[in-house]
Amino acid sequence: MRRPRRPAEETREEILNTAERMFRAQGYASVSIADIATELSMSPANVFKHFRTKTSLVDAIATRAIEQTLNALKALASDRPAPERLYALAQHLMDEHLSEQVDAPFVFEMILVTITEELDCGDRFRQIVVGMIGEIIAAGVEEGVYHADDIPRLANATFDALACVIHPVMTGMEKADIMATRCREVVRLIDAALRSPLAK
């Protein structure tokens, strides 16, 4: 019996799932598009139709992971006061990266590829998280606890100040308990800045 033709979207997802599983298990560097095609019993040409390069595969895998993280963030403590939301956001992003690295060391390799190859997913991630921080700051202004004239500017500075605990490269370097203290202390510093009329 001939298998019915599946929609392209479904094939694309299947390629992504298999590629992600193989990259996580064997490492990005040692898996080729031909290996992925073999694993899927597809022709390499069929995989190439969807992804022309290994980096475009990593970009798509990272984009998907980022979307999942961001969806989880949206639901995060949105009924709490702004300072608590800021801390929850930083903590969640940090824990996400810390757990990824415990689960699979090759994930770190993939993250480095997205950085060194300057893939779009990193910029999109920054843009969306900066947007979320901006919303929290705006809510804090509304609540009367934060002072801000230029919210996007402060949101960008806040994102950068948080890099020490949310950037995947930085979270890969320290033990979880040191990171937890670091996160609390840096958020505390940022919070003091946002509460100050001087940060305007």
Which CB sits closer to its own copies, 33 or 112? 112
Which CB sits closer to its own copies, 47 or 154? 154
Does residue 161 interact with its own copies by CB under 8 A? Answer: yes
CA distance 30 to 103: 19
Does residue 26 interact with its own copies by CB under 8 A? Answer: no
Does residue 146 contact residue 82 with C-beta atoms inside 8 Å? Answer: yes
CA distance 92 to 117: 26
- DSSP string over 68-114: HHHHHHHTSSTTS-HHHHHHHHHHHHHHHHHHHHHH-HHHHHHHHHH
Which CB sits closer to its own copies, 10 or 160? 160
Burial 145-155 (b: 16+ CB within 10 A, else e): ebbbeebeebb
Does residue 158 interact with its own copies by CB under 8 A? Answer: yes
CA distance 165 to 183: 6
Residue 68-97 contact track with its own copies, rule CB under 8 A, x = bound: ------------------------------
Number of residues counted as binding its own copies (CB under 8 A): 28
Rg (CA), the chain: 20
**Shortest Cβ 139–its own copies spacing (Å):** 18
Residue 107-136 contact track with its own copies, rule CB under 8 A, x = bound: --------x---------------------
Position among 34, 72, 176, 189 found at the interface with its own copies (CB under 8 A) = 189
Does residue 60 contact residue 138 with C-beta atoms inside 8 Å? Answer: no
Position among 10, 153, 177, 180 found at the interface with its own copies (CB under 8 A) = 153
| Phi-psi group of 41: left, alpha or beta (phi > 0 → left; psi -120 to 50 → alpha; rest → beta) | left
Applying CB under 8 A, the span of 34-42, 64-72, 96-104, 178-186 interacting with its own copies comes to 178-186
Does residue 157 interact with its own copies by CB under 8 A? Answer: yes
Q: Tell me how many degrees the CA angle 119-23-179 measures, rounded to the nearest 5.
A: 70
Residues that bind its own copies (CB under 8 A): 115, 153-154, 156-158, 160-161, 163-165, 167, 169-170, 173, 182, 185-186, 188-193, 195-196, 198-199
